[in-house]
């Protein structure tokens, strides 16, 4: 599917400014939309909106369907009468430049709990009816999620296979007892999801009304400690005790000499195929209820994936195994029709991966930071792009462009200066211009590159399990010329509808 020629900014809502230690769906998010519009940007790309997993990564969520409760706007809860003004005092120790999860998580979760309790005791019929409608509408995943999270809390977040065997194997009597035992906490988790979905729907509607589309992100794999693996054990490659026999990752590559051992359970693709890939169809359908365009992370895993023995400490001893291929995307297309999906086709890309992407008309990705280590044939150089491409200066897994340039090899520096006709003094904006000028239909730039921030502001470093996903910006860093320059480049290269 060809996308309209446009450009946008990559920024996760957690990186927004705000008084509560991390960004959320509050006023700053609406202001960011307005800033995008002022800059002629028609796309806002996010990381997964799901809850955080180990290392605070949104790519290791406890649910493929639930939203991150930390993104709920607390001011909205106050407006609804569920929080008192004094409870909105910023948390002690909060940092405007990065998220301290040890401070932010308990602060936000405690206030969500107070709000849920007051809502439960309220007699506002409109709110109660809307909540009941939401719970009924989302019951297919919400009931399992609320029970799973409640039981995880009660069990100290140990692996679900170590729960009472009857509950781990979802015997009906054990499930009913667990629901009775966790009724109050299940209400809390359903409340957080209700507010998440309602707030996000309002923010997305605002963005769409301003001409800004949302690009979401769907990881190919999900975390073992997640409601969906527990609820759908037959769809995952688990042993007799419910533990993963093999796990996901990638072989040694640009990012890591020993590869990346992600640890996610792998799918039993034959079981998915047997029921027409219904779980995947539902996952994609529900993702498109939240966003306008979906980027599928690690697309190459659908053609073939790297299978690592669960006992292996690194990804070096894995092997390539065929994925579901075209059968999965035929099922999705049959159920949902052609969908605007971006295929993250980075890493080891073999002809079958490219053929799968092209068969379904999915644009691939190109990263400018990868372009200058080779010669003129390098597929990341703009003159080798095709229109059905999404070009990035860098992604959440890359260093910032300023950080990349500071550590680039002499060969890369020489090649980049010659190719981009620059002396290298303003590489973030030089790269943004190159992306904008390319034939790629879509150009996306991380907010860190718009602000020309150093490597300390990168979002993630693949292969490291902690210390990331913390970066935030402040509006004081954003000058009027940032939006003005984006708007001018968008106009020059035909990426926005601004008047000439």
Same domain, 177 and 122: yes
What does the CA dihedral 368, 372, 376, 381 come to, rounded to 10 degrees?
0
Cβ neighbour number for residue 457 with a 10 Å cutoff: 23
- Residue 226 placed within a domain: no
Across the chain, mean pLDDT equals: 96
Same domain, 11 and 144: yes
Q: What is the pLDDT of residue 257?
A: 86
Could you give the CA distance from residue 163 to residue 110 in angstroms, rounded to a whole number? 26
- Residues with catalytic annotation? 297, 344, 397
Same domain, 200 and 327: no
- Summarize the confidence of residues 434-443 as an average pLDDT: 98
CA angle, 164 then 312 then 265, to 5°: 50
User: Does residue 497 carry a pLDDT above 70?
Assistant: no
- Residue 2 placed within a domain: yes
- Residue 37 placed within a domain: yes
Q: What is the pLDDT of residue 500?
A: 41
Strands 6-10 and 442-446: parallel
If we measure between CA atoms, which residue out of 67, 64, 78 comes closest to residue 26? 78
Which long-range contacts (C-beta less than 8 Å, at least 24 apart) are formed by 480-489? 482/39, 482/450, 482/451, 483/35, 483/38, 483/39, 484/39, 485/429, 486/7, 486/39, 486/40, 486/41, 486/432, 486/450, 487/38, 487/39, 487/40, 488/40, 489/7, 489/40, 489/432, 489/433, 489/436
Q: What is the pLDDT of residue 369?
A: 98
Q: How many domains does the chain have?
A: 3
Regarding pTM above 0.85, the answer is: yes
Secondary structure element (H or E) that encloses residue 309, with its range: strand 304-309
Which long-range contacts (C-beta less than 8 Å, at least 24 apart) are formed by 22-25? 22/70, 22/99, 22/104, 22/108, 22/472, 23/71, 23/472, 24/70, 24/71, 24/72, 24/73, 24/74, 25/71, 25/72, 25/73, 25/76, 25/196, 25/199, 25/200, 25/202, 25/203
pLDDT tens, position by position, 255-299: 688 998 999 999 999 999 999 999 999 999 999 999 999 999 999
If we measure between CA atoms, which residue out of 401, 397, 398, 390 comes closest to residue 449? 401
pLDDT tens, position by position, 420-431: 999 999 999 999
pLDDT tens, position by position, 166-223: 999 999 999 999 999 999 999 999 999 999 999 999 999 999 999 999 999 999 999 9
Same domain, 35 and 103: yes
Residue-range definition of the domain harbouring residue 425? 363-463
pLDDT tens, position by position, 1-41: 789 999 999 999 999 999 999 999 999 999 999 999 999 99
> Residue 47, SS3?
coil
Could you give the CA distance from residue 147 to residue 144 in angstroms, rounded to a whole number? 5
- Residue 350 placed within a domain: no
Same domain, 167 and 246: no
Same domain, 24 and 90: yes
User: Does residue 498 carry a pLDDT above 70?
Assistant: no
% of the chain surpassing 90 pLDDT = 95
Instruction: Work out the burial of residue 400: count CB atoms within 10 Å of its CB; fewer than 13 is exposed, 13-18 middle, 19 or more buried.
Output: buried
- Residue 301 placed within a domain: yes
Q: What is the 3-state secondary structure (H, E, C) of 201-236?
A: HHHHHHHHHCCCEEEEEEECCCCCCCHHHHHCHHHE
Secondary structure element (H or E) that encloses residue 126, with its range: helix 125-137
Which value, in Å, is the radius of gyration of the alpha carbons in the chain? 23
Same domain, 452 and 479: no
pLDDT tens, position by position, 445-494: 999 999 999 999 999 998 788 899 999 999 999 999 999 999 999 999 99
495 pLDDT tier (thresholds 50, 70, 90):
very high
Same domain, 207 and 119: yes
- Residue ranges of the alpha helices (H) in 409-464? 410-420, 427-437, 447-450
Same domain, 62 and 125: yes
Sign of CA dihedral 398, 20, 48, 211: negative
% of the chain surpassing 70 pLDDT = 99
- Residue 355 placed within a domain: no
**Could you tell me the CATH number of the domain that includes residue 35?**
3.20.20.80
Same domain, 288 and 418: no
Provide the CB-side half-sphere exposure for 181 (13 A, CA): 16
- Residue 17 placed within a domain: yes
Q: What is the pLDDT of residue 463?
A: 77
Same domain, 163 and 238: no
> Residue 379, SS3?
coil
User: Does residue 499 carry a pLDDT above 60?
Assistant: no
Same domain, 3 and 22: yes
- Who's near 205: CB < 8 A, 6+ residues apart? none
Provide the CB-side half-sphere exposure for 174 (13 A, CA): 11
- Residue 349 placed within a domain: no
Written as six digits, the tokens of 291 are 């966003």
């Amino acid at each position: 599917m060809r996308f309209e020629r446009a450009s946008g900014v990559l920024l996760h809502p957690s990186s927004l400014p705000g008084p509560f230690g991390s960004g959320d769906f509050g006023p700053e998010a609406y202001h960011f939309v307005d800033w995008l519009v002022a800059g002629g940007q028609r796309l806002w790309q996010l990381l997964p909106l799901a809850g955080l997993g180990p290392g605070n990564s949104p790519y290791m969520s406890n649910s493929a369907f639930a939203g991150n409760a930390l993104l709920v706007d607390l001011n909205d809860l106050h407006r609804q009468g569920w929080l008192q003004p004094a409870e909105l005092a910023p948390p002690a120790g909060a940092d405007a430049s990065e998220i301290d999860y040890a401070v932010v998580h308990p602060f936000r979760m405690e206030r969500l709990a107070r709000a849920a309790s007051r809502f439960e005791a309220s007699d506002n019929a409109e709110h109660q009816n809307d909540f009941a409608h939401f719970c009924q509408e989302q019951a297919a995943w919400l009931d399992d999620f609320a029970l799973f999270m409640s039981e995880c809390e009660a069990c100290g977040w140990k692996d679900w296979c170590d729960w009472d065997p009857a509950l781990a194997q979802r015997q009906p009597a054990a499930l009913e007892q667990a629901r009775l035992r966790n009724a109050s906490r299940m209400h809390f988790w359903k409340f957080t999801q209700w507010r998440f979905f309602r707030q996000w729907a309002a923010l997305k509607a605002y963005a769409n009304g301003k001409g800004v589309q949302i690009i979401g992100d769907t990881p190919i794999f999900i975390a073992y400690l997640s409601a969906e693996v527990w609820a759908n054990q037959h769809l995952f490659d688990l042993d007799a005790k419910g533990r993963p026999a093999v796990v996901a990752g990638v072989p040694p590559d640009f990012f890591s000499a020993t590869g990346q051992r992600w640890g996610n359970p792998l799918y039993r693709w034959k079981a998915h195929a047997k029921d027409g890939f219904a779980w995947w169809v539902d996952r994609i359908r529900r993702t498109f209820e939240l966003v306008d365009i979906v980027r599928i992370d690690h697309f190459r895993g659908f053609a073939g994936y790297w299978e690592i023995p669960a006992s292996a400490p690194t990804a070096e001893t894995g092997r390539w195994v065929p994925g579901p291929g075209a059968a999965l995307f035929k099922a999705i297309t049959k159920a949902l029709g052609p969908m605007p999906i971006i295929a993250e086709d980075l890493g080891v890309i073999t002809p079958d991966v490219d053929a799968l992407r092209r068969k379904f008309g999915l644009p691939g990705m190109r990263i400018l930071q990868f372009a200058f280590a080779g010669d003129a044939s390098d597929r990341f150089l703009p003159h080798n792009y095709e229109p059905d491409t999404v070009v990035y200066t860098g992604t959440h897994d890359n260093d910032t462009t300023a950080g990349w340039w500071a550590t680039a090899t002499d060969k890369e520096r020489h090649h980049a200066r010659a190719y981009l006709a620059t002396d290298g003094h303003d590489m973030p904006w030089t790269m943004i211009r190159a992306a904008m000028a390319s034939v790629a239909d879509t150009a996306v730039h991380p907010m860190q590159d718009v602000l020309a921030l150093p490597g300390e502001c990168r979002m993630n470093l693949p292969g490291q399990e902690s210390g990331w996903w913390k970066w935030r910006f402040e509006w004081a860093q954003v000058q009027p010329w940032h939006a003005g320059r984006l708007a001018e480049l968008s106009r020059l290269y035909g990426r926005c509808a601004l008047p000439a």
